[in-house]
Amino acid sequence: MIGAVRYVLRRGFELIERPFERLFGPALNPLAQLGALGFFFFWIVAVSGIYLFAFFDTGIERAYESVEYISREQWFHAGVMRSLHRYASDLMVVMIAVHLLRQFAYDQYRGVRWFSWFTGLPMIWLLYGSGITGYWLVWDRLAQYVAITSAELLDRLPIFGEPIARNFIATGTLTSRFFTLMVFMHIAVPLILLFIMWVHILRISHPKINPPRALAVMSLVALVGVSLWKPALSQGHVDLAKAAVGVGLDWFYLPLYPLTDIWGRGGVWAFLGVFSLMIGLMPWLPPLRRARAAEVDLAHCNGCARCAEDCPYEAIRMVRRTDGLPFPSQAQVNTSLCTSCGICVGACPSSTPFRRSEELKTGIDLPDFTLKELRERTVEAAKTLQGPTRVLVFACEYGGGRRLDGAVRLRCVAMAPPSLIDFVLSRDLADGVVMAGCAESACFNRLGIAWTQQRIAATRDPYLRTRVPRERIATVWASALASGRVVADIAAFTAKIAKLPRERLRSSRASTASSQASDEHTPVEAGGAP
C-alpha cells in the first residue's frame, strides 16, 4: 500500500517537474530546491518582520490603527513589506508540505535519514505557532476569530486553571500586556524555529540552504509583484461585542479552525495528535533493511579526507592516527549515519581496479559490495556485450537504468571510481561507457550525480585522467520511472560512438601498459588521483 502511494506521488512530481526542467533546467527546478527556498522565505519573513516592527504599536488600543497606517498611508514600502511578510509565510508552509511529500515519495526518510525527517515535525508546529500569533497582532475581525477559536482549543487542554476564552467575550477584558506577550511569542517562536532548522540539517553534508541566485531573484520578484497586485489588508476593527462571522481565512495557516464547528475541539486535537504520531513514526513503518556500513582499511588509508569530504551524511570524520603509520589522521565511520551508498569508495585514491586481484584493496570499502567484487562484475558484464559497438552501462540501483540487462548495478553512480572507467576503456572491455544515475533533481544519495560529473570533468579529486577520451563516455540522469528515456539515450550514444574512427575506439596498449604497471605498484602514500 505504501509503495503504491509512493509510486503515485512520484509520478505526479515527475509530471509537474518536467515542464520546470524544460523551461529553466534542473538547476533552477523549484521542486528540487524546496529546503533552500524554505530558508530563503524564512529570511524574507524575518527581514520584513523587523521592518514592520518599527511601525507597529503594541498597545491594544493602537495595534489596529498602526497596522492600517502601515497598509494604507505607507503602502509603497511598509505595506509592501506587510504583504511580503504574509505571502512569504504562506510559501514557507507550502515548501514544508511539498518537501515532506517529496521526501516520502522518493523514500528518502527512512534508515539513517530518520533524524532529518523527525526534526521536521517540531518545525511544522513552530511554524504554525508563529503564524497564528502573527494573526492575533493585527487585531482585526479575523484576529478576533483566531483568538477566540485558539483560546477555546487551548481551554480543551488541562493547562490553565481558568478558561482563557472568557478574555475575548467583552471589550475591556484585555490589556496591552496581552499584546506584549503576543509580540514576544511572535518573535521568540521564529528564533526557536531557526534553531530547529539548523538542527534539521546537522547530519547532512553540503546542505542547500541558499537557492540558486537566479531562482531567488525570480521568487522575490514574483512575491513583490503579488504584493503590489493584491496587498494583504485587514478585515475591519475587532468588536468583541459581536461574533466574527464572514471573515476571510488564510487556508495555509488556518485550515483546521472551521473544523472545530464540525469535529469539536477534542476532535481537532485528536487529529493533530494522530497526525503528529503518524509523521513521527513513519521512518520505521515499515523498517528499512540496512546494508552493512563502510569499513576503513588503515593499511590503505593515507588520511587524505576525500571520503569525509564526499560523504553526503556526515558519516565519516577524520581522527588521530592509531596504527603508527606516518600520517596525521585516519578516516573513521559512524555506522549509525552510514547509508552504505559507496560514494566514499569512489572517492578513495587507492580505489583503482588496475591492481592485481589478490591485492585489490582500498582505504574504505563496503563489506557486502567490495571494490574487488565491483571489478569482477564489470569484467563479467563486459564479456556479455555483443555487436560491433560495445557499450557498458553502470547504473544506479535507484535510477532509470537499474533494470537494464547487462548493466552493472551500483549503490550510487559515484561509487564507481573514475579509474574504473579508465580500466574499462584501456583494457578494451567496451567501446563506450554510460553512467546512468537518478534524475538530476532527485539524486537518491544527494551528491552522487554532482560528484560523478565533477570527477569526469577533472574538477574534483579523484578525477578521470585526461588520457581517457570523453567522447566515449556518456551520462544519463533519469528517474526509475523513466527507463524508456535511458534506453533511448543509450541507443543514441551507441550510434554516436559507432561513427568514430576505429583508432579512437581503442586505447594504445603501449600507453596503458606502462600506466597499468605504475598503478599496480603505486603506494597509497602518493595520495594522487587514479
Portion of the chain with pLDDT greater than 70, in percent: 92
Type of residue numbered 340: S
The answer to whether 474 touches 427, Cβ cutoff 8 Å, is: no
pLDDT at 142: 94
What's the grid cell of residue 169? Answer: 467575550
**Cα angle, residue 414 at apex, residues 37 and 474 outer, rounded to 5°:** 95
DSSP summary character for residue 293: P
* 55-69, 119-133, 159-173, 291-305: least confident range: 159-173
Q: ω into residue 367 within 30 of 0, thus cis? A: no
Dist. CA 427–CA 508, nearest whole Å: 10
**pLDDT category of residue 166 using cuts at 50, 70 and 90:** low
Q: What residue spans define the domains of the chain?
A: 2-22+34-284, 295-526
> Three-state SS for 408?
strand
Mean pLDDT throughout 102-123?
Answer: 94
Q: Find how far residue 385's CA is from the centre of its chain.
A: 37
Q: ω into residue 462 within 30 of 0, thus cis? A: yes
What are the pLDDT digits (tens) for 52-73?
A: 999 998 888 788 999 999 999 9
Dist. CA 195–CA 489, nearest whole Å: 45
- The strand pairing partners of 306, in sequence order, are none
pLDDT at 161: 65
Dist. CA 266–CA 184, nearest whole Å: 28
Mean model confidence pLDDT for the chain: 89
Dist. CA 427–CA 86, nearest whole Å: 62
Domain 2-22+34-284 grouped into CATH 1.10.10.10: no
Mean pLDDT throughout 327-338?
Answer: 95
Mean pLDDT throughout 77-85?
Answer: 96
pLDDT at 530: 36
What are the pLDDT digits (tens) for 372-394?
A: 999 999 999 999 998 899 999 99
DSSP summary character for residue 111: G
Dist. CA 487–CA 86, nearest whole Å: 47
What are the pLDDT digits (tens) for 208-242?
A: 999 999 999 999 999 999 999 999 999 998 887 78
Dist. CA 493–CA 471, nearest whole Å: 9
Is the model's pLDDT at 525 over the cut of 50?
Answer: no
Portion of the chain with pLDDT greater than 90, in percent: 76
pLDDT at 529: 38
pLDDT at 21: 86
User: Closest Cα partner for 407 from 427, 436, 443, 444?
Assistant: 436
What are the pLDDT digits (tens) for 456-489?
A: 999 999 999 999 999 999 999 999 999 999 999 9
- The model's pTM is 0.90
* 7-16, 50-59, 171-180, 300-309: least confident range: 171-180
Type of residue numbered 365: D
Is the model's pLDDT at 89 over the cut of 70?
Answer: yes
**Phi, psi torsion values for 400, nearest 5 degrees:** -75, -15
What are the pLDDT digits (tens) for 398-425?
A: 999 999 999 999 999 999 999 999 999 9
**Cβ contacts of residue 214 below 8 Å, gap of 6+?**
28
Q: How many CB atoms lie within 10 A of CB 57?
A: 15
**Cβ contacts of residue 466 below 8 Å, gap of 6+?**
458
**pLDDT category of residue 170 using cuts at 50, 70 and 90:** low
| Residues 403, 405, 406, 409, Cα dihedral to 10° | 10
Strand-pair category, 391-396 with 364-365: unpaired
Mean pLDDT throughout 8-36?
Answer: 90
